[in-house]
Structure 1
Amino acid sequence: MSNQKHLTSDTLTFTEPVRLHSNELEQLISAIAKDAEVRRKSGSEARPFYAMELIKKSRLGALRLPVELGGSGASIRDLFYVVIRLAEADPDVAHSLRFHYYQVEEFLQSPAGKERDKWLKKVAEGDLIGNAYTELSSNNVGNSVYETTLTPDGDGYRLNGTKYFSTGTLYADWVLVMASTPDGSTVSALIPTDREGVIIEDDWDGIGQRLTGSGTTRLENVFVYKDEVTFIDENKTPFNSFLQLILHAVIAGILRNVVTDAAALVHRRKRTFSFAAADKPTDDPLLQQVIGQLSSSAFAAEAIVLTAADALDATVDSVVDGNLDFDLSHEASLRAAQAKVIVDELALRASTLLFEVGGASATRQSENLDRHWRNIRTIASHNPTVYKARAIGNYVVNNTKLPIREVYF
């Protein structure tokens, strides 16, 4: 058992990275859930800075690092289980870590070297990484040509551009920026979020996942050192199911919370309808059936996500010198796409079915039960299901591989 200690009920102190199935992890998740509930009941939209600070202190961002490198040695399946638990406590927090975990995975699968070791050390110390990836331009999503530019300037470069939907960057220590050079090369720059010229605007106005810090990032003549730039290898195995699947881990976590809220709603009801099947709502077989349906949907969503995560584990186990096995990578992409098609439908239906166990009072804004549908709808909109279903069908019928170089932001 870990020797982590806790000073008070409100302050958690961590002497080592939090581990899977530990009391410390349970206490961390409980603290995040309590913080989310307090903020929600206050009626404000205060950001989860406290929760993100706890995550840094606990070094939860280092879950996937081997123990000898300062991490917890978790598998991808383990990681996705933790994301589900985090999303149950606070889906904004879980979603905000999406790019961080993806970038850590990129580091882990890269060839060993000084640069890789530098970044893994920062992750082991608790640093978090955000993104400045998406642009609102005429280029299709997934196109590797960016309007954001990286131009030579003396011993380094200058970075200029505007990025949108920078999920998690508001809470991050570092930001990875995608850009194009004057000669058309695609590059990434990993820089501190507090560097001069990096402007992070908390202006995300979506109907759901409102506190993920998914705002605009402006880059105004930002100086970038040469060792902060990576030229992207366009020939690297391109399938990328990690970013998609982590969204559905968040949805699976939300569904856990839907079940909890449904049961609590039934227990809070003091009366029922004259034509109800029982005098007490808790004894009503119809309400029990609805909650049984919700519980089954939550179980199915989680099982689907974790099974797809197994395919990702097999893929990363195949890495040689930074290159993935093409067939295993495609299999992981296929499983993530199949997960999306089913989990989206299950979750959207469940978040509406929740209201069947309450009367009209369940629709009060003070109950805030509509947040589940809004959050799920927002997450599911990242990658339209119809495109995924068609690509899966084309593969099944014609053996046509799924599209490559997909980007999930």
Structure 2
Amino acid sequence: MSQPAPASIHSLETAKPDFGDLFAWIRAGAADRDRGRILPFDVIRRIRESRLGALRLPRASGGFGVSSRELFRVVLDLAAADPNVAHILRNHLSFVDRFALPAGARGAALKWLPDIAAGAIVGLAMTEQGAGKVGGGVSTYVTALTPDGAGFRLNGRKFYSTGALFSDILLVRAAGPDGRNLSVLLPTRRDGVELVDDWDGAGQRLTGSGTTVLHNVRIEADEVLPDEPGSGFGLPYSNTLAQLLVTAIVAGILRNVATDAADLVRSRRDRNFYYSSAERPEDDPLLQEIVGRIGADAWTAETLILAAADAHDALSAARVRGEPDEELAHHAAVLTARAKLVVDELTLRGATRLFDVGGASATQRARNLDRHWRNARTLASHNPATLKAQALGAWELTGTPLPKLGFF
């Protein structure tokens, strides 16, 4: 049963801006942007102006101080409007939870809090091509920071830099002069930073998830954030929130599928399948069953997301109080992994069944309804569901904890 958010968390209804009109505008252009591969710079400008990225930032830092549950309600709404836009913000929202909340805010991260409060967006350049460590573990980076006078120089090449193309601040993961991992925070437009729009996935085509090249970039000493146990990337299960954000975007797609399924049936008016038992499509019990099931699946998916968000709220509250957090972090990881297994399956099934209510005309490129399946399939592929299912089974049977490091 879901637990209420901690009393110290402010209510979303009184704290946040009203995103209704903004999200309606975003949704109205989503299909055309996807079909024409029109990068949503204008949308991100409006997002920046709305200060959506400051929702979880504490009020003391100029943000709205909302709970994880309340944040995920907004993410679900935005993902239903346009999953590309929601995914652009994933690394920003992860950054705020990892580095800008009271339990983790320190050093170089503090420098950027006023900018984030004003609407600035954080992007991430983390992943590098090459073989990962078998069995998991901490990544070692080729991208490196080397001393240069009172500061440093940063050189490297990153892939899958989701959101970086649209961001104001760039978080780069690199190896420090001593070989240990660290984070670097710098303005995205600094000399030597090259953002390449070369992402060519089947879905999520507008997220700017391309290559970041770092050419001898000047880094100041106060822009470096070393990894430390118990904070930032040193937190146990530090990537769980990023995983839940991906799954929440998938759930938002399923809500959109449910809406489009109902709209598609209504749009057919008096034209129904041969041998249908009803003249009007909306009176056809078979079509009613499909639309009803997709709607129920969408509700289930969102309920799972919010249940996992409640676990993240309990974890955040414990960290603010300075209490032991690993058990709570593991619980949040378990609920997040479970949600992925169910939400991915429901969404991919729903995105396919959408065509059962529309027939061949639903496949017209002008409708672009295939974007739902393409986007959901691309997001679901970020981490293998089979590995999560196996890890959950091992935990249930033997008590083996889920992997706490890396992008499990």
Runs of 5+ unmatched residues, structure 1: 1-17
Cα distance 1:50–1:324, how it changes in 2: closer, same or farther (>3 A)?
farther
Task: For 1:276-355, list aligned pairs within 5 A.
Answer: 276-320=276-320, 325-355=325-355
Give the AA of the match of 1:31.
Answer: W
Are 1:209 and 2:209 matched, yes or no?
no
* TM superposition shift of 1:406: 2.4
* TM superposition shift of 1:121: 1.4
Cα distance in 1, alignment partners of residues 139 and 297 from structure 2:
37
Give the AA of the match of 1:296.
Answer: A
- TM-score relative to the length of structure 1: 0.91
Give the AA of the match of 2:237.
Answer: F
* TM superposition shift of 1:320: 4.9
Partner SS for 2:194: strand
Cα distance in 1, alignment partners of residues 160 and 210 from structure 2:
5
Cα distance in 1, alignment partners of residues 170 and 43 from structure 2:
19
| Structure 1 stretch displaced more, 44-53 or 140-149 | 140-149
* TM superposition shift of 1:114: 6.6
Aligned length: 389
Cα distance in 1, alignment partners of residues 212 and 105 from structure 2:
31
Match of 2:38 in 1: 46
Task: For 1:93-172, list aligned pairs within 5 A.
Answer: 93-106=85-98, 107-111=100-104, 115-140=108-133, 143-172=138-167
Task: For 1:364-403, list aligned pairs within 5 A.
Answer: 364-403=364-403
Match of 1:250 in 2: 249
* TM superposition shift of 1:274: 2.8
Give the AA of the match of 1:375.
Answer: N
CA contact (8 A) 1:165 1:204 kept: yes
Give the AA of the match of 1:239.
Answer: Y
Cα deviation per residue 1:207-238 (whole Å; 9 max; x = unaligned)?
00000110100001111101100111256332
Give the AA of the match of 1:387.
Answer: L
Cα distance in 2, alignment partners of residues 161 and 254 from structure 1:
34
- Give the structure, 1 or 2, with the largest relative contact order (CA under 8 Å, sep 6 or more): 2
CA contact (8 A) 1:315 1:324 kept: no
Are 1:73 and 2:65 matched, yes or no?
yes
Cα distance in 2, alignment partners of residues 347 and 324 from structure 1:
36
Cα distance in 1, alignment partners of residues 279 and 362 from structure 2:
19
Match of 1:264 in 2: 263
Match of 2:6 in 1: none
Out of 28, 36, 39, the position equivalent to 2:30 is: 36
CA contact (8 A) 2:17 2:50 kept: no
Out of 180, 183, 189, the position equivalent to 1:185 is: 180
| Structure 1 stretch displaced more, 377-386 or 112-121 | 112-121
CA contact (8 A) 1:81 1:249 kept: no
Cα deviation per residue 1:340-384 (whole Å; 9 max; x = unaligned)?
111111111111111110111111222211110100000000010
Cα distance 1:165–1:321, how it changes in 2: closer, same or farther (>3 A)?
farther
Cα distance in 1, alignment partners of residues 92 and 324 from structure 2:
20
* TM superposition shift of 1:181: 2.4
Cα distance in 2, alignment partners of residues 324 and 69 from structure 1:
25
CA contact (8 A) 1:186 1:231 kept: yes
Cα distance in 1, alignment partners of residues 58 and 202 from structure 2:
38
Cα distance in 1, alignment partners of residues 323 and 277 from structure 2:
60
Cα distance in 2, alignment partners of residues 119 and 152 from structure 1:
23
Percent identical across equivalent pairs? 48
Cα distance 1:252–1:154, how it changes in 2: closer, same or farther (>3 A)?
same
Are 1:224 and 2:225 matched, yes or no?
no
CA RMSD of aligned residues (A): 2.0
| Structure 1 stretch displaced more, 115-124 or 302-311 | 115-124
Runs of 5+ unmatched residues, structure 2: 1-10
Cα distance in 1, alignment partners of residues 339 and 96 from structure 2:
23
* TM superposition shift of 1:115: 4.6
Give the AA of the match of 1:237.
Answer: L
Give the AA of the match of 2:161.
Answer: S
Cα distance in 2, alignment partners of residues 278 and 329 from structure 1:
52
Cα distance in 2, alignment partners of residues 221 and 144 from structure 1:
22
CA contact (8 A) 2:48 2:120 kept: yes
CA contact (8 A) 2:107 2:222 kept: no
Partner SS for 1:188: strand
Partner SS for 2:318: coil
Partner SS for 1:318: helix
Partner SS for 1:347: helix
Give the AA of the match of 1:82.
Answer: V
Give the AA of the match of 1:288.
Answer: Q
Partner SS for 1:177: strand
Partner SS for 2:145: strand
Are 1:89 and 2:103 matched, yes or no?
no
Cα distance in 2, alignment partners of residues 67 and 225 from structure 1:
28
CA contact (8 A) 2:53 2:120 kept: yes
* TM superposition shift of 1:167: 0.4
